Amino acid sequence: MNLFDRRQFIKNSLGTGAALSLAHATGTALAAATTPPAKPAPLTKNSPGIIDTNVTLFQWPFRKLKYSETPALVAKLRQHHIIEAWAGSFEALLHKDIAGVNERLATECREQAPGFLRPFGTVNLAWADWEEDVRRCHEVHHMPGLRIYPGYQPFNLKHPGLAPLIAMVRERGLILQIVFQMEDPRVHHPLIKLETLDARPLIAPLQAAPGAKVQLLHFSGNVQGSDLQALMAETPAHLDLSRWEGNGAIGRMIGSAPSGSAARVPLERVFFGSHAPYFPVETAVLKLMESPLDRPQLNAIMQGNARRWLPPV
């Protein structure tokens, strides 16, 4: 028995059937056309919108991405019922003029999709006076949070500026997102050689700043799982699901897989994140279908947990 809204199911099934019949009827003419983007149904109690906490704007430095232009990306996200996207900037990876990076990000979000795109500026702990960038993000651009990219930005989590940064974002009520990976190191451009980011140095500064809102993006942890275990046991760090791989990954991580395996991450610490436009947004949304999740679990992951941290505009 399907447990989602029955009336909605029948409506969608009829739509599919009609489309299939049409495809048979018109044959090659339809076959030659590109599959039109499916329009999502209106939001209902059983189909809440999704808050995507891991989206990035502008140009990936190494390839022209399919949805690199902001209007196209916003349309694509909306097509999949994303109702809000926390957006960083690819410029943050390699640019030195951080103030310019943040200003462009704030402007792009405000002009292209105000209230939908929530700008997450950056600071680079390796550059002097990064504290001023925090101030501007908060006081000038009114950003809800910051996103840092250790590795691409030339520092790791042992950097002495990390604890003051965490303390500062806590004091200002900002969210701090720490990006653990942008792409598989095996396919890096030959000029890029990044050290593997060790998460364990995060534990002490997080313990020293109770109440700080810190989210790890695209985090897989080490093979043994010991760093994930330590972070979950000893800190309040939250995660996005964009890096979770393997059939039924979400269910296995939160302990709701058919195999009955124990939870590795408390449900309330999981945010939806797609890593679009580098990853197809479809992959993360389909994972919500792949794992057998109940309605409260879906609501928490799709928007409830993120909304607890950041109210709508």
Residue list 215-274, contact with other proteins (CB under 8 A): 245-249, 258-259
Question: Which residues between 52 and 71 bind other proteins (CB under 8 A)?
Answer: 63, 65-67
Cα 194 to Cα 95, 151, 242, distances in angstroms: 16, 6, 20
> Residues 114, 154, 292, 312: which binds other proteins (CB under 8 A)?
292
- The residue among 17 and 173 lying less far from other proteins, judged by its C-beta, is 17
C-alpha to C-alpha distance for 137 and 143, rounded to whole angstroms? 6
Q: Is 308 in the site for other proteins (CB under 8 A)?
A: no
Q: Is 283 in the site for other proteins (CB under 8 A)?
A: yes
Q: Which stretch binds other proteins (CB under 8 A): 78-86, 130-138, 164-172, 265-273?
A: 78-86
C-alpha to C-alpha distance for 177 and 31, rounded to whole angstroms? 44
Contact at 8 Å (CB) between 243 and 181? yes
CB of 130 to other proteins, least distance (A): 30
Q: Is 47 in the site for other proteins (CB under 8 A)?
A: yes
Q: Is 276 in the site for other proteins (CB under 8 A)?
A: yes
Contact at 8 Å (CB) between 285 and 298? no
Q: Which stretch binds other proteins (CB under 8 A): 88-96, 116-124, 232-240, 278-286?
A: 278-286
Question: Which residues between 152 and 191 bind other proteins (CB under 8 A)?
Answer: 183-188, 190-191
Q: Is 1 in the site for other proteins (CB under 8 A)?
A: yes
C-alpha to C-alpha distance for 218 and 178, rounded to whole angstroms? 9
Would you state the structure tokens that stand for residue 217, as one six-digit string? 């993006």
CB of 57 to other proteins, least distance (A): 14
Would you state the structure tokens that stand for residue 270, as one six-digit string? 């999981």
Q: Is 50 in the site for other proteins (CB under 8 A)?
A: yes
Q: Is 10 in the site for other proteins (CB under 8 A)?
A: no
Geometric angle at alpha carbon 198, from 196 and 199, rounded to 5°: 135
Cα 103 to Cα 119, 138, 146, 223, distances in angstroms: 10, 12, 13, 38
Would you state the structure tokens that stand for residue 129, as one six-digit string? 């006076």
